[in-house]
Homo-oligomer: A and B are copies of this chain.
Amino acid sequence: MSDTRKIEIPQILDGMVRPAARLITLVEDNDPRAKPILQELYLKGGKSLVIGITGPPGAGKSTLSDQLIAHYRAQDKRVCIIAVDPTSPFTGGAILGDRIRMGRHNTDPKVFIRSMATRGHLGGLARATGDALCVMDAMGWDVVIIETVGVGQGEVNIVQCADVVVLLQTPGGGDHIQAAKAGILEIGDIFVVNKAKRDGADRTVKEIEEMLDFKTHPGEANAWRPPVLKTEALTGEGTEELAAQIEARMAFLQEHPDEAGRLGRERARITLAEVMKELAVERLGDGVRGGRELDELLDAIAARRVDPYSAAEKILDA
């Protein structure tokens, strides 16, 4: 059930965690009261450093972001984590990991961890995560880390909304040729081979470097060559170098306003597309409340008297 207390926008902008958490719950429940608040918060955001961390299950994403929390806390920065795990219906991953971490950081008011778990067929995880980012960004955290398993289209979109995308692999942990084909390499600004003491780490680094050779053209004005780092997230080795490279990437974007502008537009496009998808489905929902008309249409589609392609055009135009 949604919390019906009034959500105070000034409190959220002041960085207060409780009203922000209540708002994210409204967002997850797809409560229409969230939208006017999000509209206002969006315009105040854009000041946090947003880091996206993605990689296969078990690569060590949450351990690595834990190390980043420690790094940024040592600089007295306020850090927020948004953890997304679409595999949780099967593995319980996000929620379990979240609770363990909550226990470690819950005495530190300058750290906030929020997990976004899929709610089965209720849907809208990507949109809800985008909205959660909008909230966190408006709260003024110095650093927001979005952590997500790199599977599923929605998840790829989510992580692309970060300022810097860290792509995590483990030694021998991926079929990199496939990764190159599928375009997932293209979203990585920094590559990390975690569990680097395992056999094959150097080979994995080499494979990634070789693939980057194909797509990076050193002569190009706006060419950012993604660094390939090795980390041992459990012990923290490599964390400082990762943080330094995140900083280097941000400096690069400052020096290349054209590239920064292009990426900003791309992020805006992804955000807008997610919002539009959700709005399209909402309009379908509005039809239900309007009476029996939609049920009759659905029956006609099920009976193959009407095709969904024509029906969708009509509903969107209505």
Contact = CB atoms under 8 A, between A and B. Distances in A.
Interface string A94-128: 01100000000000000000000111111111100
A196 B178 CA distance: 32
Interface in A109-166: 117-126, 149-157, 160
A123 B152 CA distance: 9
A202 B187 CA distance: 43
Interface string A68-112: 000000000000000000111111100110000000000000000
Contacts of A123: 153, 157
Given A151-B149, A277-B277, A301-B272, A178 B308 contact: no
Contacts of A96: 175, 178
Interface stretch (A4-12, A17-25, A39-47): A39-47
A153 B118 contact: yes
A66 B316 CA distance: 41
A308 B155 contact: no
A271 interface: yes
Interface stretch (A225-233, A243-251, A278-286): A278-286
Contacts of A126: 153
A155 B152 contact: yes
Nearest to A94: B178
A302 interface: yes
A151 B46 contact: no
Interface centre among A89, A125, A264 (most CB of B within 10 A): A89
A96 B175 CA distance: 10
Given A121-B183, A268-B301, 14 more contacts: A38-B307, A56-B91, A89-B182, A91-B174, A92-B179, A118-B152, A120-B156, A120-B182, A120-B183, A123-B157, A152-B152, A152-B155, A272-B308, A283-B316
8 contacts: A42-B304, A88-B178, A123-B153, A153-B154, A268-B308, A272-B297, A276-B281, A316-B316
